């Protein structure tokens, strides 16, 4: 019996879906549904305007067909702009972020549906794309790169699931747009131009505690943190922060889903069993796009060898990443680990208590760090976490200000004497020189050193933006804070407040207002900045409302007190804040 001839045509296929849709639905079904509907209306409009056709939708995904690759790319760019507009008033963690893949090729026709490898390639490109990004195949690039003045980043040949041959892949964005995650917005500075090569993105999930003793949880968590820290020292990697990966602690996880939610290509997971003076560590590196195990190993060692094992794990992970990571870019200077394992154990306990953010745990963190210093007075990390925990006590009001400030000043001596080349020490010395001494040369020195030693620590990257703001370089500060928000999505909402402040100091008032709106909770300081921004824009009603919120929560608020706490290096920035606050009606 004769069969009907298969109908085919050349088409540009666009595939899009939402990053972390399951997490968003689990947190708030109705809000997520409403946001998705708004995004879908914007997407449908973009597709229609560019002459495309919606082929299929499935919950959070969209498949569209175009007769022109140029129009497909233009549509994708407009889609991302429309989606961003839908997210404007949402807190960072509630925002709906899409990724898009586009391919050009021959497709089979089945009614209103389209089938074949060309469709599958578009879907696979979407799956490996970073949040908010657009990935195109080489066939699309060949058609559009001479017609559309855009930024094209060559990502090389990418292996994608169920496609025999690697797919030549490019990331595309508006010319000058540095928002793509792999490129990690790096402000123009002495650190050099962006190379155009995508950096491997990686997340280390909390290792499982296989010990019978549940109290060893702090040791296992400490091992995970140390591996994150060591990977973070590689400039050619983009490493998701501890706070964002530890939300998966104790949960059954699907690495492919985790990869989509965190926007990373590679996942590290493992387990630790500690018994007496022996430790067994298992670790595996997984490609999150298809769940393929790239490498796995088990280490049975004496406890004293734990630092060597951490180094070996880090080096083997890096060696197994498909894109070569330049060891030359790794800052070779490294803190010397203590030879006193009891001191190391106390530091791990101090970190564990510090991360719990309670008054009682803060006191235990300080106590544990002090014990580590007593056992090894030259142990730089012990001094770092002692000072950091004292800073936490000051910021959270766990101690009387006079008491904790005095203790911080004493701790600073030990910290400075033993900072060696430890990123954590330089990070804290940056804070101390800014807050207590206003020694801006030392602020810049210690911050530059901290960043050189660990360019992926979101606290250091965010601090780089915050210090640049105080040093009179607010326009540059914005990019660094945005990069920190990408490195640690779980803290993005909190850092939106720093971003708003940087925009304000840069005299970008509407952008500052938009940034502050990304935080669901604002304190009186942020309402004061909002008041000044509205006043500067001539929004008198909004400025008066924000000023009223400030005085309602802080009846004794004064501009003089606020400026006393603001460590501006430039008098012009200080005067700018004074003038705009007075204009907003805040009391002098």
When pLDDT is averaged across residues 404-423 and rounded to a whole number, the result is 80
Q: Is the pLDDT of residue 554 over 60?
A: yes
Q: 311 with 336, same domain?
A: no
User: Which residue, 269, 300, 326, sits at the end of a domain?
Assistant: 326
Q: What are phi and psi of 330, to 5 degrees?
A: -80, 125
In a domain, 472, yes or no: no
What pLDDT, on the 0 to 100 scale, is given for residue 213?
Answer: 72
When pLDDT is averaged across residues 62-85 and rounded to a whole number, the result is 93
Task: Give the burial string for 91-125 (b: 16+ CB within 10 Å, else e).
Answer: ebbbbbbbbbbbbbbebeeeeeebebbbbbbbbbb
For 261, the 3-state DSSP assignment is: helix
What pLDDT, on the 0 to 100 scale, is given for residue 522?
Answer: 92
The CATH number that applies at residue 206 is 3.40.50.10610
Of residues 135 and 294, more confidently modeled: 135
Sign of the torsion angle spanned by Cα atoms 114, 117, 119, 123: positive
Q: Which residues contact 246 (CB under 8 A, 6 or more apart)?
A: 206, 221, 224
Nearest C-alpha neighbor of 172 from the set 191, 147, 193, 192 = 147
The predicted-structure confidence for 148-166, as pLDDT tens digits, reads as follows: 888 888 877 777 777 778 8
In a domain, 1, yes or no: no
Helices of type H across 418-553: 423-432, 440-453, 458-470, 474-487, 492-505, 509-516, 524-536, 540-553
In a domain, 189, yes or no: no
What pLDDT, on the 0 to 100 scale, is given for residue 92?
Answer: 67
Answer yes or no: are the C-beta atoms of 38 and 86 closer than 8 Å. Answer: yes
When pLDDT is averaged across residues 194-217 and rounded to a whole number, the result is 73
Least confident span in 91-100, 171-180, 456-465, 548-557: 171-180
Tokens of 587: 């009391």
What pLDDT, on the 0 to 100 scale, is given for residue 175?
Answer: 59
Tokens of 317: 């992970």
In a domain, 470, yes or no: no
CA distance 68 to 76: 13
The predicted-structure confidence for 440-474, as pLDDT tens digits, reads as follows: 999 999 999 899 888 888 899 999 999 999 999 99
Q: 335 with 320, same domain?
A: no
Confidence of residue 527 (pLDDT cuts 50, 70, 90): very high
Q: 13 with 158, same domain?
A: yes
Q: Is the pLDDT of residue 289 over 70?
A: yes
Q: What are phi and psi of 153, to 5 degrees?
A: -110, 120
Answer yes or no: are the C-beta atoms of 489 and 262 closer than 8 Å. Answer: yes
Q: CA 107 from chain center: how many Å?
A: 38
Q: 92 with 221, same domain?
A: no
Q: 310 with 370, same domain?
A: no
Domain holding 63, by residue range, is 8-174
* Domain total in the chain: 4
CA distance 172 to 177: 9
Q: 399 with 259, same domain?
A: no
Q: Is the pLDDT of residue 62 over 60?
A: yes
Nearest C-alpha neighbor of 262 from the set 180, 200, 203 = 203
When pLDDT is averaged across residues 112-133 and rounded to a whole number, the result is 88
Tokens of 196: 């155009």
The predicted-structure confidence for 321-347, as pLDDT tens digits, reads as follows: 654 344 333 443 344 567 787 888 888
The predicted-structure confidence for 366-392, as pLDDT tens digits, reads as follows: 999 999 999 998 888 888 889 889 888
In a domain, 187, yes or no: no
In a domain, 191, yes or no: no
What pLDDT, on the 0 to 100 scale, is given for residue 347?
Answer: 86
In a domain, 308, yes or no: yes
Q: 337 with 429, same domain?
A: yes
User: Which residue, 326, 356, 373, sits at the end of a domain?
Assistant: 326
Answer yes or no: are the C-beta atoms of 142 and 31 closer than 8 Å. Answer: no
When pLDDT is averaged across residues 117-124 and rounded to a whole number, the result is 91
Q: Is the pLDDT of residue 262 over 70?
A: yes
CA distance 363 to 444: 31
The CATH number that applies at residue 488 is 1.25.40.10
Query: Percent of the chain having pLDDT more than 90?
Result: 38
State pTM to two decimals.
0.59
Q: 102 with 214, same domain?
A: no
When pLDDT is averaged across residues 491-514 and rounded to a whole number, the result is 93
Q: Is the pLDDT of residue 261 over 80?
A: yes
Least confident span in 388-402, 414-428, 554-568: 414-428
Angle, helix 492-505 to helix 524-536, in steps of 10 degrees: 40
The predicted-structure confidence for 346-359, as pLDDT tens digits, reads as follows: 888 888 888 888 99
CA distance 49 to 35: 21
Task: Give the burial string for 549-583 (b: 16+ CB within 10 Å, else e).
Answer: bbbeebeebebeebeeeebbbeeebeebbbebbeb
Query: Percent of the chain having pLDDT more than 70?
Result: 91
Q: 208 with 294, same domain?
A: yes
Q: 273 with 421, same domain?
A: no
Instruction: Please calculate the CA angle 169-172-177 and round it to the nearest 5 degrees.
Output: 140
In a domain, 502, yes or no: yes
- Distance in angstroms between the alpha carbons of the first and the last residue of the chain: 92
The predicted-structure confidence for 130-141, as pLDDT tens digits, reads as follows: 888 899 999 999
Eight-class DSSP state of 435: I
- For strands 98-110 and 134-137, give the pairing: parallel
Confidence of residue 12 (pLDDT cuts 50, 70, 90): very high
Q: 144 with 247, same domain?
A: no
User: Which residue, 269, 303, 326, sits at the end of a domain?
Assistant: 326
Q: 166 with 66, same domain?
A: yes
- For strands 238-239 and 134-137, give the pairing: unpaired
What is the chain's length?
588
Q: How many CA atoms lie within 13 A of 535 on its CB side?
A: 23
CA distance 367 to 372: 9
What pLDDT, on the 0 to 100 scale, is given for residue 152?
Answer: 86
The CATH number that applies at residue 88 is 3.30.70.1230
What pLDDT, on the 0 to 100 scale, is given for residue 5?
Answer: 65
What pLDDT, on the 0 to 100 scale, is given for residue 191?
Answer: 32
The pLDDT mean for the chain works out to 84
As a whole number of Å, the CA-based R_g of the chain is: 26
What pLDDT, on the 0 to 100 scale, is given for residue 129?
Answer: 83
Q: Is 132 exposed, middle or buried (0-12, 13-18, 19+ CB in 10 A)?
A: buried
Best-predicted range by mean pLDDT among 19-33, 211-225, 421-435?
421-435
Q: What are phi and psi of 427, to 5 degrees?
A: -60, -45
Q: What own/partner pairs with CB < 8 Å and gap ≥ 24 does 431-435 have?
A: 431/391, 431/463, 432/387, 432/408, 434/467, 434/470, 434/567, 435/567
In the block, which residue shows the tokens 């209306």? 41
């Amino acid at each position: 019996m004769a069969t009907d001839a298969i109908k085919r045509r050349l088409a540009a296929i666009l595939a899009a879906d939402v990053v972390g849709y399951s997490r968003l639905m689990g947190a708030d079904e109705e809000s997520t549904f409403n946001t998705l509907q708004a995004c879908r209306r914007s997407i449908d409009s973009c597709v229609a305007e560019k002459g495309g056709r919606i082929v299929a939708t499935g919950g959070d995904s969209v498949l569209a067909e175009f007769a022109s690759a140029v129009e497909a790319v233009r549509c994708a760019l407009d889609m991302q702009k429309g989606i961003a507009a839908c997210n404007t008033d949402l807190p960072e963690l509630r925002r709906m972020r899409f990724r898009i893949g586009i391919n050009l090729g021959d497709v089979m026709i089945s009614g209103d549906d389209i089938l074949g490898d060309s469709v599958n390639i578009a879907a696979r490109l979407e799956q490996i794309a970073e949040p908010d990004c657009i990935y195109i195949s080489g066939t699309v690039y060949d058609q559009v790169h001479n017609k559309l003045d855009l930024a094209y980043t060559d990502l090389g040949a990418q292996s994608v699931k169920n496609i025999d041959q690697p797919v030549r892949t490019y990331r595309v964005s508006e010319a000058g747009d540095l928002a793509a995650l792999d490129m990690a917005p790096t402000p123009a500075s002495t650190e050099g131009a962006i190379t155009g090569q995508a950096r491997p993105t990686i997340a280390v999930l909390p290792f499982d505690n296989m010990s019978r003793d549940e109290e060893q949880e702090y040791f296992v968590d400490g091992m995970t943190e140390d591996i994150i820290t060591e990977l973070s020292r590689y400039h050619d990697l983009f490493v998701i922060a501890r706070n964002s990966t530890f939300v998966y602690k104790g949960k059954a996880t699907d690495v492919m889903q985790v990869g989509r939610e965190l926007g990373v290509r590679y996942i590290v997971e493992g387990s630790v069993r500690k018994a007496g003076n022996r430790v067994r560590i298992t670790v595996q590196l997984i490609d999150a796009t298809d769940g393929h195990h790239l490498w796995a190993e088990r280490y049975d060692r004496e406890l004293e060898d734990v630092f060597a094992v951490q180094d070996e794990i880090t080096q083997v992970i890096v060696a197994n990443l498909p894109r070569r990571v330049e060891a030359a870019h790794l800052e070779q200077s490294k803190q010397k680990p203590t030879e006193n394992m009891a001191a190391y154990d106390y530091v791990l306990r101090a970190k564990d208590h510090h991360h719990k953010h309670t008054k009682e745990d803060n006191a235990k963190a300080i106590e544990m760090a002090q014990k580590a210093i007593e056992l090894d007075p030259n142990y730089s990390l012990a001094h770092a976490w002692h000072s950091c925990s004292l800073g936490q006590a000051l910021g959270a009001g766990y101690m009387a200000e006079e008491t904790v400030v005095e203790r911080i000043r004493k701790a600073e001596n030990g910290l400075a004497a033993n900072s060696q080349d430890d990123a954590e020490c330089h990070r804290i010395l940056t804070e101390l020189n800014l807050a207590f001494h206003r020694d801006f040369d030392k602020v810049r020195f210690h911050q530059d050193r901290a960043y050189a030693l660990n360019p992926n620590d979101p606290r250091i990257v965010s601090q780089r933006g915050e210090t640049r703001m105080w040093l009179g370089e607010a326009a540059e500060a914005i990019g660094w804070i945005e990069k920190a928000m990408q490195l640690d999505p779980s803290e993005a909402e909190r850092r939106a407040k720093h971003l708003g402040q940087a925009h304000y100091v840069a005299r970008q008032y509407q952008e500052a207002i938009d940034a502050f709106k990304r935080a669901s909770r604002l304190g009186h300081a942020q309402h004061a900045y909002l008041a000044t921004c509205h006043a500067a824009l001539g929004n008198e009603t909004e400025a008066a409302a924000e000023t009223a919120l400030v005085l309602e929560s802080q009846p004794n608020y004064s501009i003089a007190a606020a400026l006393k706490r603001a460590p501006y290096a430039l008098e012009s920035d200080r005067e700018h804040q004074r003038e705009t606050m007075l204009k907003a009606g805040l009391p002098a």
